Amino acid sequence: MDHNLAETSHSVEKYTLNELSEDERTQFEEHMFDCPICSDLVRQNFTVTENLKQVLREAPAEQRVSWRSWFQIPSLVPAFAALALACVVGYQNIGPSETAQVLPQMAALKAASRGTIPAIPAGARLLPVNADQLPIGPFEFQLDNSAVRGQGQKTEADAQIQILFSKSLPAGRHTLKLVSDADKADPITYTFEVQQSK
């Protein structure tokens, strides 16, 4: 299991709540021991859970309130404020959502060479990249010598890596540079073109 899969499948939360199947649990535990981000998140979730259990056990009886107290004016004001906030947020999020598109027909980008420049569909945020020239270990990427940057990790099994951008890429020709921590002097360059939206 790689980190992106663990993140998108909410494996940390499911692991904390004991909702993973035995096979998924085994795969996640193998990943967690190698991934400091996931292991920290699991540790934090268990700490919060234990602290909540302790606080709820220690609550004195006089602080516990009946269900009728929820219908008094001081209790209803925060409830209505939360409801109004939820309505505003819901209204702002109406419309098409921007989710990563995995396009099975899109071939992985290959390092720059002579020939045709691959075309990427408009609106794409997930970019498959042929990583056979990239050494195993951490790497950084940069798009068009701009502020669009990120980091990743190539494992032994990765012949292809996925670069996920936070926004859809604008139409036009782009250059993606991958720089390995092991060989910062020799970046690998990929050139591609994002098609105009129809």
Return averaged pLDDT per consecutive 10 residues of the chain, 198 residues in all. Answer: 83 86 89 87 87 77 64 78 86 58 52 67 81 84 81 81 82 86 82 80
Residue 194 pLDDT:
84
Residue 160 CA to residue 154 CA, distance in Å, equals 9
Any domain includes 11: yes
Residue 30 CA to residue 61 CA, distance in Å, equals 44
CATH assignment of the domain containing 129: 2.60.40
Q: Are 194 and 170 in contact (CB under 8 A)?
A: yes
CATH assignment of the domain containing 16: 1.10.10
Q: N- to C-terminal Cα distance for the chain?
A: 36
Any domain includes 80: no
Residue 31 pLDDT:
87
Residue 59 pLDDT:
60
Residue 63 pLDDT:
60
Residue 118 pLDDT:
80
For the chain, helix (H) and strand (E) counts, in that order, are: 5, 7
Query: Which residues partner with 193 through β-bridges?
Result: 119, 173
Residue 174 pLDDT:
86
Residue 106 pLDDT:
53
Residue 187 pLDDT:
85
Domain interval for residue 161: 119-194
Residue 143 CA to residue 174 CA, distance in Å, equals 7
Any domain includes 173: yes
* H runs (alpha helix) in the chain: 3-8, 11-16, 22-34, 36-58, 73-92
Look at the alpha carbons of 33, 154, 164, 142 in this order and tell me if their dihedral is positive or negative.
positive
Q: At which of 66, 83, 106 does a domain end?
A: 66
Residue 183 pLDDT:
78
Any domain includes 112: no
Q: Are 131 and 160 in contact (CB under 8 A)?
A: yes
